[in-house]
Amino acid sequence: MVKVGVAETDIAQGLKGRDLLTLLDYTSGELTYLLDKALQMKKATAEGNLPPLLAGKTLGMIFEKHSTRTRISFEVGMIHLGGHAMFMNARDLQIGRGESIYDTGHVLSEYLDGVMIRANSHEMVKELATHTTVPVINGLTDIFHPCQALADLLTIKEVKGSLAGLKLAYVGDGNNVAHSLVIAAAHMGMKVAVATPVGFEFNPNLLVKAKAIASQNGGSVYETTNPIEAVSDADVVYTDVWASMGQEQEAQARLKAFKAFQINDKLVAHAKKDYLFLHCLPAHREEEVATSVIDGPNSYVFQQAGNRLHAQKAVLASLL
């Protein structure tokens, strides 16, 4: 049995009943705890020794956006922990017909032990969390994707053994995935380079916060418009699609703007030889990433996708 120290016990108690809306609300110690717990749960799952920590618990899952990894990983995660997950399409709920967030939050609190929501608006998710008495977990909004970032760090930690001091290069759109990834990496004391085209930059207010967090933890964050500069000597190279859900009408314009930001063999030649390539998926091969890279020996995208399950089990067990 793994011995838990006093500090870990205090963190565990502090996580109970919390929301997970953005990693800005969490300390570096709390994120480290969740990553360590995820590793323990992954090992226990493989050995068939994971206890039913959430037996009798029900997670409501609300979706305004399509999902593969988020829905399946949360649903399977609850099953692994002995609980139950309930899929709810937002269009089928009364909230889709105009019921207030206030009323919806109070009603869900009467039925559920937790809510995971994948939504268009982060402000709506914040409002929902205000009016529920059970934990609300952000499965993706227009600004943040915290559960993805936890899986990203878990993957890097598994492969590299540690996080502090590693260089992470994010190349592409300054979107929700980038926001949560950079904040998470800053908490871990990583050296982060963000390369985006002009007009598609990382949110400036969040960049200031990420820099402050990194400084407190011995890391750094900087932004550039030069992909080669970002990728040079990187331990991890990360990208996402150039046009996310809801941006389909911008696709052609984005293809032109992002043309020089493709992750290909020529670009990753500037990274360390043992670099990791990561992508949150789904990927558009030969757009943001060359097939030779995403299917190459440095790619860990499927291990990364699998780690959504284990990172979220750590979140579910800790919060619920």
Under 8 Å CB-to-CB from 314, ≥6 apart: which residues? 34, 35, 37, 38, 41, 150
Hey, what are 179's tokens?
């926001």
> Is 49 annotated to bind ligand?
no
240 catalytic per annotation: yes
Q: What is the dihedral of CA 144, 145, 150, 155, to 10 degrees?
A: -120
Q: Which of 131, 176, 129, 128 is nearest to 152 (CA)?
A: 176
> Is 262 annotated to bind ligand?
no
> Is 299 annotated to bind ligand?
no
Count of other CB atoms within 10 angstroms of residue 200: 17
How many angstroms separate the CA atoms of 171 and 60, rounded? 34
> Is 220 annotated to bind ligand?
no
> Is 58 annotated to bind ligand?
no
Which one is catalytic: 80, 148, 187, 312? 148
> Is 232 annotated to bind ligand?
no
Which one is catalytic: 240, 254, 304, 312? 240
Q: Which of 71, 58, 55 is nearest to 114 (CA)?
A: 58
Mean per-residue pLDDT pooled into runs of 10, the chain (320 residues)? 63 97 98 98 97 98 94 98 95 82 96 97 97 98 98 98 98 97 98 97 97 98 98 98 73 90 98 98 96 98 98 98
Q: Hey, what domains does the chain have and what are their CATH numbers? A: 6-145+308-317 (3.40.50.1370), 148-305 (3.40.50.1370)
> Is 69 annotated to bind ligand?
yes
Q: Which of 254, 257, 273 is nearest to 265 (CA)?
A: 273
3-class SS of residue 263? strand
What is the torsional sign of CA 87, 92, 97, 103? negative
Long-range contacts, 117-124 (Cβ 8 Å, 24+): 117/61, 117/62, 117/63, 117/64, 118/61, 118/62, 118/63, 118/64, 118/65, 118/67, 118/70, 118/71, 119/62, 119/64, 119/65, 119/90, 120/64, 120/65, 120/246, 122/21, 122/22
Which one is catalytic: 80, 254, 308, 310? 308
The amino acid at 193: A
187 catalytic per annotation: no
The amino acid at 4: V
Which one is catalytic: 173, 280, 304, 312? 280
Which one is catalytic: 80, 113, 142, 145? 145
Which one is catalytic: 80, 118, 254, 310? 118
Q: What is the DSSP track for 54-81?
A: TTT-EEEEEESS--SHHHHHHHHHHHHT
pTM comes to: 0.94
> Is 121 annotated to bind ligand?
no
How many angstroms separate the CA atoms of 8 and 82, rounded? 24
71 catalytic per annotation: no
- Residue 121 in contact with residue 277, Cβ under 8 Å? no
The amino acid at 303: Q
How many angstroms separate the CA atoms of 141 and 128, rounded? 13
216 catalytic per annotation: no
pLDDT in the model for residue 2: 38
280 catalytic per annotation: yes
